[in-house]
Amino acid sequence: MSQQKEDLKTTYQKFASKDEPKRPVVANCIKAFFIGGLICIAGQAIQNFFLYNFDFNEQTAGNPTIAVLILIAVLLTGFGIYDKFAQFAGAGSAVPVTGFANAMASAAIEYRTEGPVFGIGSNMFKLAGPVIVFGTTAAFVIALIKTLWIQIGG
Amino acid sequence: MQKSSGLKVILLTSIFLVYAAGCQQHESPEPTRIINKETHEAEELLEELEPITTAVAITSGKKLYAAAEVKQMDRFQLESVRKTGYDRLSKRWPDYNIHFSTDKKAMLELQNLNKDMSAIKMKKKEREQRLTKIEEFMKG
């Protein structure tokens, strides 16, 4: 009986996968590459603006550049434009800092009705929280490896 | 559907335009004016290095300020480029206090100073002031 059930399951899966639309992985990668690159060009333009017009050098100009990019992404999320753009762009719009801003802002908008503290406050990091957790953990582990490497190597 | 294809057209056009602009031949940068023999020599010494495209240098007393622009792919080795440039300059002028940077802002400000110094007779105090500011940018 159980053997029969298993057979039925695999047959069904085979049958279903035949009609499933194939994910265009290569096309998605190319799209993400170009659109991610476009966002970075915009970032570079903003950085150059700060370099040419204000007293920032290459390193310190990074901070206001990121702030402006985040502001733009949050505004676009609020107006509902970023969603449509992200549907087309995929990972190209999720990987840069704009994707992180979008994750925070969209969660905040979604839980707005539940109140400022228990709604926005506690749910804002639902999507973006893992990024912070794993980002910090990964940074710690890599720093540890680097320190050990230098201690042994030098 | 109509709307999304319009978005696609806009995005594809902008991608094409950006890449076309990137492939354009770069206009050659404005040559720096020769202020004195040392700055000219320092600029030439730096420009001889393979990864450096343009360089600018200014001296003030026993201090030499220099900045350079590095080729795109060589920017991965910025630190070693800075070291080679610094070593080269300090070997040529061992008794000078040398400041060398690949920072874009330092480069821009040095170029502006170079232009202003050749155009007008600048007071030593003003020059020193501007150079101290440039030194700040170089620290980064």
Going by C-alpha positions, the residue among A141, A12, A27, A43 that lies closest to residue A89 is: A27
Q: Distance between CA A131 and CA B4 in Å, rounded?
A: 30
**How many CA atoms are closer than 13 Å to the CA of B44, on its beta-carbon side?**
9
Fold classification of B37-139 is Alpha-Beta Plaits (3.30.70)
CB contact under 8 A, A57 and B106: yes
The band of B23, judged by pLDDT with boundaries at 50, 70 and 90, is low
Q: Between B15, B136, B137, which is nearest A38 by CB?
A: B15
Q: What is the pLDDT of residue B1?
A: 47
Q: List pLDDT tens digits, range B55-114.
A: 998 888 888 899 999 998 888 888 899 999 999 888 888 888 989 999 989 999 988 888
Q: What is the pLDDT of residue A44?
A: 93
String of DSSP letters for B33-100: PP-SHHHHHHHHHHHTSTTEEEEEEEEETTEEEEEEEE-TGGGGGHHHHHHHHHHHHHHHSTTSEEEE
- The pair of three-digit structure tokens given for residue B55, joined into one six-digit string: 């360089």
The chain-wide mean pLDDT, for chain B, equals 82
Q: What is the pLDDT of residue B24?
A: 57
Q: What is the pLDDT of residue A2?
A: 72
Instruction: Measure the CA dihedral B7/B11/B16/B21, to 10°.
Output: 130
pLDDT exceeds cutoff 70 at B29: no
Q: Between A35, A38, A57, which is nearest B140 by CB?
A: A57
Q: Between A41, A52, A58, which is nearest B140 by CB?
A: A58
ipTM of the complex: 0.74
Size of interface A-B (CB pairs under 8 A): 37
CA angle in degrees (0–180, nearest 5) for A147-A150-A153: 145
pLDDT exceeds cutoff 60 at B3: no
The band of B138, judged by pLDDT with boundaries at 50, 70 and 90, is confident
Judged by DSSP in three states, B101 sits in strand
What are the 10-residue block averages of pLDDT along chain A, 154 residues in total?
A: 80 85 88 91 93 90 94 94 88 87 91 90 88 94 95 82
Best of B105, B111, B129 to substitute, by most chain A Cβ atoms within 10 angstroms, is B105
| Annotated domain spans of chain B | 37-139
Q: How far is A71 from chain B (nearest CA, A)?
A: 21
Residue of B nearest to A81 (CA): B7
